[in-house]
Amino acid sequence: MNRFNNLSEDAKVVYLLSLSDLIIDKISKSEGFEVAVESLEKAWEWLKFKNIDASNLYLYLENMDETDIMTYMQLDNDEDNEKVWICIGNALAYTIWEAYQYEQGKYLPQTIESVDYETVESFITNFEKVYENNSLSDGLLHFLEENYPKDTDKKVDLTSVKIFINESIEK
């Protein structure tokens, strides 16, 4: 966790979203899969352009229509799928938290207000239970730490991140 805190704000989001992208297909047969895909797409869009309100991103995590990540996570009875849903929910919650910080929002939804180090630890624990190549999460963390340390304004080069991930998978 300490190493995660050594990353720039955007690199933290890249880390969680990149790893989520690697496991999302494991829930492709689950109800709500399309919502999960769309939520990650919107999170990536926010990261790249900062053009989506945090409150709109939040609707993918929780909403009154129960067409959200939290609801689908509870509906899925498969234990491995639940771990994937937890990862996606945690990645999205963290991204939303960053979006509220970016907007300097004073009032956060309770779920987002509670985002902390345990959110990231839960993500990593569940990711490592459902993804075969556990060294990838550590390798990606190291790559981001080297290239996008805390307090840097350097924009994360998503192409180089994808190349790193693909090369790590091929090993």
DSSP 116-152: SHHHHHHHHHHHHHH-S-HHHHHHHHHHHHHHSBTT-
pLDDT of 171 higher than 80: no
Residues 6+ apart with CB under 8 A from 167: none
Residues 6+ apart with CB under 8 A from 135: 168
Residues 6+ apart with CB under 8 A from 138: none
What predicted TM-score, i.e. pTM, was given to this entire model? 0.97
Q: Which pLDDT score is estimated for 1?
A: 55
Q: Give the model confidence (pLDDT) of 55-103 as tens digits.
A: 999 999 999 999 999 999 999 999 999 999 999 999 999 999 999 999 9
Q: Give the model confidence (pLDDT) of 6-26 as tens digits.
A: 999 999 999 999 999 999 999
Q: Give the model confidence (pLDDT) of 97-134 as tens digits.
A: 999 999 998 899 999 999 999 999 999 999 999 998 87
Cα–Cα distances (Å) from 144 to 78, 153, 157, in that order, read 32, 13, 10
Q: Which pLDDT score is estimated for 170?
A: 86
Q: Give the model confidence (pLDDT) of 14-57 as tens digits.
A: 999 999 999 999 999 999 999 999 999 999 999 999 999 999 99
pLDDT of 155 higher than 90: yes
Task: Parse the chain into domains and list their residue ranges.
Answer: 4-170
Cα–Cα distances (Å) from 65 to 59, 88, 115, in that order, read 10, 19, 23
Report the C-alpha gap between 49 and 99 in whole angstroms: 11
